[in-house]
Homo-oligomer: A and B are copies of this chain.
Amino acid sequence: MPDIRLDTTLIALADPTRRLVINALRKQPRRAGELVAMASISAPAMSRHLKILRQSGLIAEEDVENDARVRLYRLQPEAFADLQTWLDEVQSFWAGQLDAFKAHVEGKTVRPKGKRTKPKDQLK
């Protein structure tokens, strides 16, 4: 089961333009047109990037009260939590890695759980 949430988050972040948007919104909310100017790409291109970011939940759309034409975008902090959690889990790999190293120096080549009962690739 592929983690669909983490997947969309990482896909959304794996683009320089979209990260530029994220970085810009870090300081303050911005209208779509402002983001277009910052990224120096066409408005339609930015619109699609914003859609992807919106769908990933990383940013949210907001209306301004005096002009219904403009759309204000702002960062959605909660959406980063899953990635943060996953990263922390990955970073906690030391435990497992140390076990493996221990087994290694003890002369047992690291092996998958029950793949082969006879260690063919054993240390001489």
A interface list, Cβ under 8 A from B: 2-3, 6-7, 10-11, 13-14, 16, 19, 22-23, 25-30, 34, 64-67, 70, 72, 74-75, 77, 80, 83-84, 87, 89-91, 93-94, 96-97, 99-100, 109-110, 112, 115, 121-124
- Whole-angstrom distance between the Cβ of A81 and the nearest chain B Cβ: 9
Q: Return chain B residues, CB-CB under 8 Å to A74.
A: 97, 100
A77 to B70, CA, bound (A): 43
Partner of A121, one of B67, B83, B109: B67
Q: Return chain B residues, CB-CB under 8 Å to A90.
A: 22-23, 26, 75, 80
Partner of A28, one of B30, B89, B97: B97
